[in-house]
Amino acid sequence: MSKTLAAALFATVVLTPAAFAASSEDCTAMWKKADAKATGKIDGDMAKPYLMAMDAMKMPASMAKDGVVMDKEFMDACMKDAFKDMK
């Protein structure tokens, strides 16, 4: 019985979606790639896929105003795995 309980606990802790969340380092690297000009924001065609991913994750509209994604908003969304399918 204790082996079954241990296996269930392991599966719950190790295999939960949070275990696969993007790390701060991953998000920073992704941001540097997206914000190649180091302006602190992405907009236009570069922002579109990120805006679509944020919308799909039902992120608050305030996170990306007027087709612009700011660095903090990007990092918040990334840490919530909004961009997990974008590499």
pTM across the whole model: 0.71
pLDDT at 43: 92
Residue 44 in any domain: the answer is yes
Residue 8 in any domain: the answer is no
CATH code of residue 52: 1.10.238
Evaluate whether 51 touches 64 at the Cβ level (below 8 Å): yes
Question: Within a 13 Å sphere around the CA of 10, how many CA atoms are in the beta-carbon half?
Answer: 6
The whole domain housing 54 covers 21-87
pLDDT per residue over 24-43, tens digit each?
Answer: 999 999 999 999 999 999 99
Token pair 């974008």 is found at 86
- Could you give the number of structural domains in the chain? 1
Whether pLDDT at 13 is above 60: no
pLDDT per residue over 42-70, tens digit each?
Answer: 999 999 999 999 989 888 766 666 889 99
